[in-house]
Structure 1
Amino acid sequence: MIVSRHLVLAAVAIAIMLVGCGKSAPPPPPKVEAPPAPAANEDVKRLATEIYVYAYPLVVMDLTKQVMIAKTPLNTFQHRRAFPDASSTDVVNPNVDTLSSQAWLDLAREPIVLSVPDARDRYYMMPMLDAWTNVFQSPGKRTTGTKKADFVIVGPKWKGELPGGVEEIRAPTDMVWLNGRTQTNGKADYAAVAKIQDQYKLTPLSQWRKSGAKAVHAPPTPQTGVDAKTAPVEQVAKMNAQTFFSRFASLLPGNPPAKEDATVVEKIKKLGIVAGQPFDMSKLDAATAKGVEDGAKSAHDAIVAAAKGSTGDLRNGWTIHWDLGRYGTNYGLRAVIASFAVGANAPEDAIAPTTRLDGGGRPLDGANKYVLHFDKGKTPPASAFWSLTMYNDTHFFVANPIDRHAIGDRDRLNLNPDGSLDIYLQRDNPGKDKESNWLPAPKESFNVILRIYWPKQDLLERRWTPPGIQRAT
């Protein structure tokens, strides 16, 4: 009996287990909602936005330097020997007026001597930009003439004696972009310009003293981890706040803010950015970190949006920038220009009105014919020269049957009987009697740039404005 009873109890236990297996699982415990992410600290966001806008040109300049010195070492000229053609897409809004001679200088170790030859009255300019994109000096025909000369460019902290026969130029930052240009009158002028370019020399002061003005350059330093293919502004766009502000902080010791930036400097300290030290967001509380990240993104989005709009003065359909190259405390304009035209000239060197509209505000289109008319004595007021350049809707040159991309006062233009000047902007040849004044247009939409080198006072003081482009009837 005892065994039988055990068997019965076992059977009952198995039955209970089987019944239990058929039942549904007990309901899960109530789901606990995760606490919402902390809201961004709005005060910090505003602070980060302001500092990002302030810092943006410095970071863009550093990345531009990094990309360029991957091909050409520091303190060494990189010369362009020929104009781009209609197949070239490496330079946006190229010109066929000048050939460039560019170099990035590092003044942290010692001054650099810039030697220029006798240019025999040829127009050239050597604008020097500090790390914040301000033009602080521009040797050349306009300022120093065209005779042989030697300039010693010294950094903000340098102290010492200079040799005789040289002119001192003190840079506000250790980073300097020398963005030289030499007047070039067409392809036939390439060889003459190349001879001048080859005589532009950059020599460290210590070597200058030893070798008697003989430029000696160190071999290129291998660049590791450098993205030389992605545009600098695109690289900046990919940076998170920590990367951006850390890079900014690393650049501050050698490229100090200007005296008029004292208010912003205090705000930089308030955000926790220390010159020469990485910006570590892991030390921030969640709300502060989000405020910094959101502020950086907000600032970048605002810069991009502003660059797509009109940042200049609109006159007769032309957009004119009167005050580029030296920005003072206009940090917003400085950042926007750095996003699409880093290296812009000071107005005394060149002013370049642009337009994609006719005088009536309608987009320029190759389906139509246009005339740009200058009354007698009212052509662009240039002490050097002027040109009008044609671009397609992507800002590159336009292939055309006469291989002409620009027209200007160095060309053999035919004047009207009353002394006025007409330039014809259209796709088809206007005829032999007008071909000398024809600037070929594409069949689609287009835009033009009117470059005025060494503007006269009428333009600098805004008394002269280019006339609107008129649609021909």
Structure 2
Amino acid sequence: MMPSQETNPMGGARRKDRLSNTSQKTHSTGSHTLQTGAKAFKERLRIGLMFWCAPIYPFVGSPRPKNRPMKTICKRKCLILLLCLLFPYVNLGGAEEYSGVRPSAVDTVNIVRRSYPYVALYNTFAKWAAYSGWNKILFSGRLAGHTARSVARPNNDTLNLTALLDLRKEAVIVEVPAIDSKYVSMMTSAYDHYIEIPMSTTFERGDFSRPSRVLFYNQRTERYHGEPVEGVDRTCEMTGDFVAMILRAMPHLNDPPRAERIKSQLRQVTLKTLSQFKNGPGIAPADLSFPEFGRTTADVFGTNFLEVMQFVLNHTIFDPNNDMDRALLEACKALGMEPGKSFDPAKAAGIGSLRLRPVAESVEKSVRPPVNRSRLFMPKGRIDLETQLFQTVVGPLGQPEHQAIYLGSRALAKEVLNARNDYVIRIAKDQLPPAKAFWSFTLYDSRTGFFIPNDRQKYSVGENTGYQLNDEGGLDIYISAEKPVGVSDENWLPTHRNDQALDVALRIYAPDFEKMKTWKRPAIEEIKRP
């Protein structure tokens, strides 16, 4: 049955028009739309060729280890290419059909690729909500450490304040005081992982120089429909019922009094529903059962993907004119999932035969940095699927280029970094990262995307965690298990002497694009030990 206008985020009438326009691209099996064989084959071939052209190592895109025979690598690539072509149509047996759809006929690669950002963001939000709840402020007053594991590649250079917003029953108002920091930004995202920046000190319009009130809602929010509210400075229409709002602030730790002042100001951030803002009692949110989250995104694909994705579809607002939205909904419909439907566990038994977890893991390994990095972390309609997948896998909930530039080891090193070796990053005086705000180098375990635990709790080098310039005014940063003789503590990123792939991320906040034109990226060099 077609969802009603109230429960279907795309609207019943417009949805009918959309489906009629796409009838030539798909064919119907029962009440579900399946991709044509030619289109599915092309997609699998494209993924297979991506694997063929890419090295198969712990950190995707890294150079081939010196001791890995080329013959072995070619064999592995041939096997992966064959699996990419055949796997989606192999029914591993013992499974029932899901709501009338034969699992062996579903293009699993396409489904996983298009749903991956939504599943990953659901998983991240659910982990945060288990700790903080909804419509509440979460602020620790500390930089993230090695226990931060809710999102891959967290930063270690800003104070982060987070709020998870439930916009179903009421609009939510976040009140922010003036914050005495060189850099502050407000970032938002729903499950769709489209990034918006409602406020930032880089906008040169006085953001965070005075108190501000920001109202968040969506087109389905009850009791609010976009009208002006006295005392509210700006309104933000979101694309889902559940939204993450993150404030990032440069802490100025090299100036302790200022750092304490910034922390105090961030503790003054408040959150109220619209009725509470108007001095009412507030309206209790509707009861809702959230699906279980997994330790990783791949875990969700392996256990309760159908339940999570149906939940996400019901709480995301889709645009009938957006190509990526249409493609996602068509892929989900092949498994009987549509906005407004309920999850039926009795009909989900057949999903086991699709073996979505290994497909998700393959998608994770296939991502590549976009050629145009300016498309990273952009709003809806300004980002493509490949870029969205890359940012979700490598490090979700980052910021667009006008706020921060992110450069990883693949841009800075010639070979895979490994903790068995020692490295140095040498930066000349006139080649320090061109930031109008600040910059940092952060070290990660490449496989997990998390900080490497150490007794010193040292995970990054930069203005907020400290560094010492050399006699020439440049900077030398050392990555090693033991601190080299004569190297300051601030310039040492400790590792453990084991076979562990490493990743270094350079973040440049409020980049100076004019200086970027002549700036030379620093290189990570291996230190030859006797």
Question: Does residue 1:306 correspond to 2:363, yes or no?
Answer: yes
- What pairs with 1:149-188 in structure 2 (closer than 5 Å)? 149-157=212-220, 158-164=225-231, 166-186=233-253
Report the secondary structure of 1:173's partner residue: coil
> Which amino acid in structure 1 is aligned with residue 238 of structure 2?
A
Q: CA deviation at 1:238?
A: 3.1
- Cα distance in 2 between the residues matched to 1:37 and 1:238: 15
Q: CA deviation at 1:464?
A: 4.8
Question: Does residue 1:205 correspond to 2:267, yes or no?
Answer: no
Q: Among 468, 474, 479, which residue is 1:425 paired with?
A: 479
Question: Does residue 1:120 correspond to 2:174, yes or no?
Answer: no
Equivalence for 1:256: 318
Pick closer, same or farther for the CA change 1:306–1:334 going to 2, 3 Å.
same
Question: Does residue 1:397 correspond to 2:464, yes or no?
Answer: no
Q: CA deviation at 1:332?
A: 4.4
- Cα distance in 2 between the residues matched to 1:223 and 1:277: 15
Instruction: Confirm or deny: 8 A CA contact 2:181 2:249 kept in the other structure.
Output: no
Instruction: Confirm or deny: 8 A CA contact 2:191 2:242 kept in the other structure.
Output: yes
Q: CA deviation at 1:406?
A: 1.8
Instruction: Confirm or deny: 8 A CA contact 2:214 2:233 kept in the other structure.
Output: yes
Deviations, residues 197-250 of structure 1 (Å, cap 9, x unaligned): 211111112221237xxxx8789999867647x426255223456435533443
Equivalence for 2:311: 247
Instruction: Confirm or deny: 8 A CA contact 2:405 2:507 kept in the other structure.
Output: yes
Instruction: Confirm or deny: 8 A CA contact 2:298 2:361 kept in the other structure.
Output: no
- Cα distance in 2 between the residues matched to 1:141 and 1:204: 26
Pick closer, same or farther for the CA change 1:38–1:278 going to 2, 3 Å.
closer
Equivalence for 1:349: 403
State, as a whole percentage, how many aligned pairs show the same letter. 20
Q: CA deviation at 1:113?
A: 1.4
> Which amino acid in structure 1 is aligned with residue 417 of structure 2?
P
Pick closer, same or farther for the CA change 1:84–1:366 going to 2, 3 Å.
farther
Question: Does residue 1:238 correspond to 2:302, yes or no?
Answer: yes
Question: Does residue 1:413 correspond to 2:413, yes or no?
Answer: no
> Which amino acid in structure 1 is aligned with residue 157 of structure 2?
D
- Cα distance in 1 between the residues matched to 2:527 and 2:305: 52
Range 151-160 or range 434-443, more displaced: 434-443
- What pairs with 1:5-404 in structure 2 (closer than 5 Å)? 44-46=105-107, 49-85=109-145, 93-143=153-203, 145-147=207-209, 148-157=211-220, 158-164=225-231, 166-186=233-253, 191-210=260-279, 227=292, 230-231=294-295, 233-239=297-303, 242-252=306-316, 255-257=317-319, 259-261=321-323, 263-264=326-327, 267=330, 271=334, 272-278=336-342, 297=355, 301-309=358-366, 311-312=368-369, 322-326=374-378, 328=381, 330-335=384-389, 337-339=391-393, 341-355=395-409, 359-368=413-422, 370-392=423-445, 395-399=450-454, 404=458
Q: CA deviation at 1:107?
A: 1.9
Range 80-89 or range 404-413, more displaced: 80-89
- Cα distance in 2 between the residues matched to 1:427 and 1:112: 48
Q: Who wins on radius of gyration, i.e. which is larger? A: 1
Q: CA deviation at 1:69?
A: 2.3
Question: Does residue 1:466 correspond to 2:518, yes or no?
Answer: no
Instruction: Confirm or deny: 8 A CA contact 1:358 1:471 kept in the other structure.
Output: no
Q: CA deviation at 1:398?
A: 4.1
Pick closer, same or farther for the CA change 1:310–1:471 going to 2, 3 Å.
farther
Q: CA deviation at 1:458?
A: 5.3
Pick closer, same or farther for the CA change 1:232–1:76 going to 2, 3 Å.
farther
Q: CA deviation at 1:152?
A: 1.6
> Which amino acid in structure 2 is aligned with residue 207 of structure 1?
Q
Deviations, residues 357-408 of structure 1 (Å, cap 9, x unaligned): 973314333543x3212233222121211111233565323425x6533212
> Which amino acid in structure 2 is aligned with residue 238 of structure 1?
G
- Cα distance in 2 between the residues matched to 1:98 and 1:193: 11
Instruction: Confirm or deny: 8 A CA contact 2:172 2:216 kept in the other structure.
Output: yes
Q: CA deviation at 1:334?
A: 2.5
Instruction: Confirm or deny: 8 A CA contact 2:310 2:339 kept in the other structure.
Output: no
Instruction: Confirm or deny: 8 A CA contact 1:307 1:339 kept in the other structure.
Output: yes
Task: Give the TM-score, by structure 1 length.
Answer: 0.72
Instruction: Confirm or deny: 8 A CA contact 1:351 1:455 kept in the other structure.
Output: yes
Report the secondary structure of 2:128's partner residue: helix
Report the secondary structure of 1:184's partner residue: coil
Pick closer, same or farther for the CA change 1:437–1:70 going to 2, 3 Å.
closer
Task: Give the TM-score, by structure 2 length.
Answer: 0.65
What value does the CA root-mean-square deviation take over the aligned residues?
Answer: 4.1
5+ residue gaps, structure 2, are 1-92
Equivalence for 1:6: none
Report the secondary structure of 1:179's partner residue: strand
- Cα distance in 2 between the residues matched to 1:38 and 1:82: 50
Instruction: Confirm or deny: 8 A CA contact 1:77 1:201 kept in the other structure.
Output: yes
Question: Does residue 1:453 correspond to 2:509, yes or no?
Answer: yes
The count of residues paired between Structure 1 and Structure 2 equals: 415
Q: CA deviation at 1:177?
A: 0.8
Range 170-179 or range 158-167, more displaced: 158-167
Report the secondary structure of 2:106's partner residue: helix
Report the secondary structure of 2:247's partner residue: strand
- Cα distance in 2 between the residues matched to 1:406 and 1:333: 26
Deviations, residues 58-105 of structure 1 (Å, cap 9, x unaligned): 343334333322332322111122235567767654433112211111
Pick closer, same or farther for the CA change 1:106–1:359 going to 2, 3 Å.
closer
- Cα distance in 1 between the residues matched to 2:208 and 2:426: 34
Instruction: Confirm or deny: 8 A CA contact 2:187 2:198 kept in the other structure.
Output: yes
Pick closer, same or farther for the CA change 1:276–1:310 going to 2, 3 Å.
closer
- Cα distance in 1 between the residues matched to 2:234 and 2:195: 18
Q: CA deviation at 1:38?
A: 10
Instruction: Confirm or deny: 8 A CA contact 2:302 2:355 kept in the other structure.
Output: no
Equivalence for 2:494: 440
- Cα distance in 1 between the residues matched to 2:508 and 2:120: 27
Instruction: Confirm or deny: 8 A CA contact 2:159 2:250 kept in the other structure.
Output: yes
Pick closer, same or farther for the CA change 1:41–1:404 going to 2, 3 Å.
closer
